[in-house]
A and B are shown apart, each in its own frame.
Chain A
Amino acid sequence: MEWRDQGALLAVRKHGETSVIIEAFTPAHGRHLGVVRGGVSRKIAPILQPGAQLDLTWRARLDDHIGSFTVEPIRSRAAGVMADRLALAGLNAVTALLSFSLPEREPHPALYQRSITMLDLLAHADADAWPLAYLRWEMALLEDLGFGLDLGRCAVTGTRDDLAYVSPRTGRAVSAEGAGDWADRLLPLPQCLLGQGPVSALEIMDGLRLTGHFLQNWLAPSLGDRPLPEARARLAGLLARHGGTGS
């Protein structure tokens, strides 16, 4: 068995004295694991940093074997984020959430493209753009894994206007009028997720609470109720301290 693809590196674990097992997210083969022999060497270890874009060749005798990767670097993203506390937390959150939530060997090409765009934004430390892009990326992650939110129209009145809340039970949008007395039991819907209005710090934090609710209550239970990666909570905490912006 053999294939060649590009991929973003999600995680690295030591395997024996000289090898590592890597997790890569590829467009055609999804999240895929494999051994990299000599992965702790001075030559290869700097390449194998989470977020790196790699050219991967996977070989195994049988398809269900873990197999081994031969890796060639395409570009490193770690160097661009290491000096930036928030961007580094963002990169950790993206790679940890992908590693946490994606099933093995199941392609998600659309999510792959979004993830690569997200990682590139982080690597360029585009502080104005990436918090909102990250929020949208979490929405895309939920949608791609079958837990998409329906923010198109009000679940109560059917209107497309004045959408202000999301039902924590159904994930459907609710207008201010439709919410009525139930407003305090609903999750605020940041207008930036509807493509309306400027992005404020408050909206980013509201957005993270919104996606966090569904990651925690919809996605995590479907994965055996494991806790969400600490990296996501750390990013949310840092953004809250920095007023919801990446700068």
Chain B
Amino acid sequence: MNDSTRDIQALIDLMARLPGLGPRSARRAVLHMIKKRGLLMAPLADTMAHVAATARECITCGNIGTSDICDICTDDRRATGEICVVEDVADLWAMERAQVFKGRYHVLGGTLSALDAVGPEDLRIPRLIDRVTAEGVTEVILALNATVDGQTTAHYIAEQLEDRGVSITSLAQGVPIGGELDYLDDGTISAALKARKRF
């Protein structure tokens, strides 16, 4: 490799570390950006530099934004008394994409895990309990993954909030929209049958 291509190779190597990209796809992406230098690469570099300098976790809910308190937490219209507890920022963004929840969120930053030695003190559970008291919360919606670790965490949070006079709910589990029974695992079918509703 000579000096003229070393920087480009360094960029390819960095891009290849991103999720979903390998060396070949990173090379294609870099080549595409170089071809669209003015249209894509320069604005991308500027935006990345800006986000790198300003991105931070919201001190209230754990969402990622560019200010200390995120837009959701500062929006008075979202002070509905409902907090939706999610495992990760990606889950919060998924909920926001659906545009059905109008309350606020709380990002735990993971789940309890015996295997990885993640305990309650490693998550944002104490902060959640503080918020429930301080923000006059009436309902905590546990939107955690339907996995053993996710539900263990949900039960733990429910225990911690038991005596705080707050309604605790969780997302339903069952057949996804567009799902075919034949392709579902027996656990999902079992959960769906248990949670059946009058038609």
Chain B minimum-CB-distance residue to A238: B159
Give residues 147-167 of B contacting A (CB, 8 Å): 147-148, 151-152, 155, 158-159
Q: A17-B19, A75-B186, A78-B187 are in contact. Are A51 and B148 (CB under 8 A)?
A: yes
Q: Are B186 and A79 within 8 A (Cβ)?
A: yes
What is the interface residue range for chain B against chain A? 20 to 34
B118 to A, closest residue via Cβ: A230
**A residues lining the B interface (CB < 8 Å):** 11, 13, 17, 46-47, 49-51, 73, 75-76, 78-80, 82-83, 85, 88-89, 91-92, 96, 99, 229-231
CA distance A75 to B19 in the complex (A): 32
Q: Could you tell me if A88 and B152 are in contact, using CB atoms closer than 8 angstroms?
A: yes
Contact A230 B114 (CB under 8 A): yes
Is A79 touching B191 in the complex (CB atoms < 8 A)? yes
Interface residues of B (CB under 8 A from A): 19-20, 114-117, 119, 146-148, 151-152, 155, 158-159, 173, 185-188, 190-191, 194
Instruction: Assess whether B115 is in contact with A82, with CB atoms less than 8 Å apart.
Output: no
**Cα distance, A76 to B191, chains bound together (Å):** 11
**Extra inter-chain contacts (15) besides given A49-B147, A78-B147, CB under 8 Å:** A17-B20, A47-B185, A49-B148, A73-B186, A76-B186, A76-B190, A78-B187, A79-B188, A82-B148, A82-B173, A82-B191, A85-B158, A88-B151, A92-B148, A229-B114
Chain B contacts for A47, CB-based, 8 A: 185
- Asked if A76 contacts B185 (CB within 8 A), the reply is yes
**Are A230 and B119 in contact, with the CB atoms below 8 A?**
yes
